[in-house]
Amino acid sequence: MWCLWRGSANLSGAYHLAQLVRQHNDAVARGEVPGTAIGEVEIAVIEKGATVGAHILSGAVMDPKGLRELIPDFLEQGAPLESPVKEDHFLYLTKSRAIRSPITPPPLMNHGYYIVSLNRLTAWLGEKCEEVGVNIFPEFPGADVLYDESDRVIGVRTGDKGIDKEGKQKANYEPGVDLHARVTVLGEGPRGSLAKQLIQRLNLDDGREPQVYSIGVKELWELPDDRYPAGRVTHTLGFPSDAQTYGGGWIYGMQNRILNIGYVTGLDYRDPLLDPHANFSASNNILTCQSCSTAAS
């Protein structure tokens, strides 16, 4: 079985599958379940980046329920968590002020959650997968989906290596390889190249609502002091987005006085002159002009 992944979801799937195979084989060996052992199942993950998690840039507030079900002792095993969420703040921004709401909307209540770096968490999950026998192959981007005569997916073809920016072969050229599998899992994120091929060929979006996309702009700031403590989570609405534009911002307090700060703009905005990066800067100006502690108090 080959899994094509781009994040923690498929790594979790590969890890869970490996654990299920091991548990079944152990139960058969102890005589607890009838039948025969499955034997060795090859589970492989290909990654286009140079290292596991190389293309995972986001920070996040994570509900630990799924990770706890996957690895119950994830804290003892050293999962790279930045901080448990200690405070939840919700701000409405105007052109000149950040107004804290007296009530935090239920979807933005994160008690019991953790602030994480998805890059670090994904790399850690990659290590856990290798510990249970999952094979991980970095620098193997998926280029095409392979089909049989019945249009059933039977694997993927990796991209050629050693190609220059004009598409010509360099001295270190290596052709891609065909990886065949009984089950292929695509986990490329919200706009994966292979997923687009599959959707178009098999008409998987017929009769479905169209996808909705947004773009997020994020920076990491190092503060000179502890004015914004680790574990504080702030979400914002309002300025600079207008009433017709989906948008909002976040501030996550991480370890070592690092802020994860960003703004999301829905890509269905109507103003052709709108710039998501300008939205990010405008929202930050409102917050920083009052200082982080004042804006969230």
Q: Annotate 170-220 with DSSP letters as a single string.
A: EEEEE---EEE-SSEEE---TT-HHHHHHHHHHTTTTTSPPP--EEEEEEE
pLDDT of 5 higher than 60: no
- Tell me what the mean pLDDT of segment 272-285 comes to: 92
- Tell me what the mean pLDDT of segment 141-145 comes to: 90
pLDDT at 7: 77
| pTM listed for this prediction | 0.87
User: pLDDT digits over 186-206, tens only?
Assistant: 888 777 889 899 899 989 899
User: pLDDT digits over 28-84, tens only?
Assistant: 988 888 888 888 889 999 988 888 888 887 778 999 999 999 999 999 999 999 999
Quick check: 117 and 61 in contact, CB under 8 A? no
Q: Average per-residue pLDDT in the chain?
A: 88
DSSP 40-58: ----EEEESSSSTTTT---
pLDDT at 295: 40
Residue 139's pLDDT band, with cuts at 50, 70 and 90, is: confident
Please count the CA atoms within 13 angstroms of the CA of 154 that sit on its side-chain side.
9
pLDDT at 70: 96
**Amino acid letter, 256:** N
The alpha carbon of residue 52 and the mean position of all alpha carbons in its chain are separated, in whole angstroms, by 12
pLDDT at 296: 43
Structural domains of the chain, ranges and CATH numbers in brackets = 2-57+120-202 (3.50.50.60), 81-112+212-295 (3.30.9.90)
Residue 289's pLDDT band, with cuts at 50, 70 and 90, is: low
Pair of tokens at residue 19: 């654990």
> ω before 276 within 30° of 0 (cis)?
no
pLDDT at 6: 56
The alpha carbon of residue 146 and the mean position of all alpha carbons in its chain are separated, in whole angstroms, by 25
Residue 22 exposed, middle or buried by CB count within 10 Å (0-12, 13-18, 19+): middle
B/e letters for 136-146, b = 16+ CB within 10 Å, e = fewer, are bebebbbeebe
**Amino acid letter, 167:** G
CB atoms within 10 A of CB 293: 13
pLDDT at 50: 86
Better-scored residue on pLDDT, 201 or 287: 201
pLDDT at 293: 44
User: pLDDT digits over 86-126, tens only?
Assistant: 999 999 999 888 999 988 889 899 999 999 999 899 999 99
